[in-house]
Structure 1
Amino acid sequence: MRHIETEILINASPEKVWVVLTDFEQHPKWNPFIKSIEGEKAVGRRLKVFIQPPDGGGMTFKPEVLAFEANKQFRWKGKLFLKGIFDGEHYFRLSDAGNGATRFVHGEKFSGFLVALMGGTLDKTKVGFELMNEALKRECEKV
């Protein structure tokens, strides 16, 4: 198993961050990592997600939504081909940091027998998370 977690402070309310994060149609305009998300925003439903880590090839997968709690958390779990080969539970957590700011935590827990072979790809993925966090911050802090 491998766990990647990133965090950023955004000078906007959790409600505003949530609106930007969950407006899937706008992701291609601001998000450098998750290029598109399609599908119903409901637990148990499948999404169609296209990601592209920096200096990496793009990948489309169809994760299942595990949690979708307004202004708090959004989680999904995806897999490569079959469960147990390379699985990832992706999450976004928002919490009130006071003074109108939001602590945004963005991470993923990877499992499966291919995880040990994916070190370089996962390093690029972490950079992608950080780039997305910065872009989300910029988008949410626009006046």
Structure 2
Amino acid sequence: MREYRANTTIHQSPEKIWTILLDLARYPEWDPYCDRIEGEVELGNKIKAFSKLSPGRAFPVKVTELVPNQRMTWTGGMPLGLFKGQRTFTLERKGDETEFTLCEVFSGPMLALIGRSLPDLTEPFEKFVAGLKQRAESAS
């Protein structure tokens, strides 16, 4: 298993942050590693993410968990669980602030082979949470 994680405290309500997270078309405005994301966030829906880390390549994922204003999970990978990536967005209200966490876990028998080609997501995750924080806190 390989895991990447980044978190931040955002001076905004979970509801406001959730609205930003659901607006996939605008991710490139605040996530410097995002080219675009196609689709709509609904439980069971498939969406396609395009990252600047792998130009031109689509990463198809399925929305496998959706708890409004709290938690969202996107899951992708190979059939039979040979390789799986699971990205989870978590929002936890702390008074008038929100603790936001982005976590991705890679697993499966093919991880040893595929893992060598995976980029280090530490910086992209840090930039994602920083961009989300700035976007949410600058929103009226």
Give yes or no for contact 1:5–1:108 (8 Å, CA) kept in 2: yes
- Equivalent residues in 2 for 1:1-143, closer than 5 Å: 1-52=1-52, 56-58=53-55, 59-80=57-78, 82-98=79-95, 100-117=96-113, 118=115, 121-122=118-119, 124-142=120-138
SS at match of 1:63: strand
Deviations 1:113-132 (A, max 9, x none): 3423425734x212111111
Partner Cα separation in structure 2 for residue 20 and residue 42 of structure 1: 15
Deviation digits for residues 82-137 of structure 1 (CA, Å, limit 9, x no counterpart): 44443101110001021x21100101110123423425734x21211111100111
**More displaced, 104-113 or 131-140?**
104-113
Provide the TM-score with structure 2 as the length reference.
0.86
SS at match of 1:44: coil
Mapped to 1, the partners of 2:91 and 2:126 lie a distance apart of 15
Q: Shift of residue 39 of structure 1?
A: 1.4
1:63 is displaced (CA, Å) by 0.8
Deviation, structure 1 residue 32: 1.3
Q: Secondary structure at the match of 2:69?
A: coil
Structure 1 window deviating more from structure 2 (19-28 vs 88-97): it is: 19-28
* RMSD value, Cα: 1.9
Structure 1 unpaired stretches of 5+ = none
- Cα distance in 2, alignment partners of residues 74 and 49 from structure 1: 15
Contact 1:71 1:94 in 2 (8 A): yes
1:33–1:129 contact (8 Å) kept in structure 2:
no
TM-score scaled to structure 1, two decimals?
A: 0.84
Conserved 8 A contact 1:44-1:64 = yes
Structure 1 residues 21 and 119: CA distance shift in structure 2, 3 A: same
Ranges in structure 2 where 5+ consecutive residues have no aligned partner: none
Identity of aligned residues (%): 32
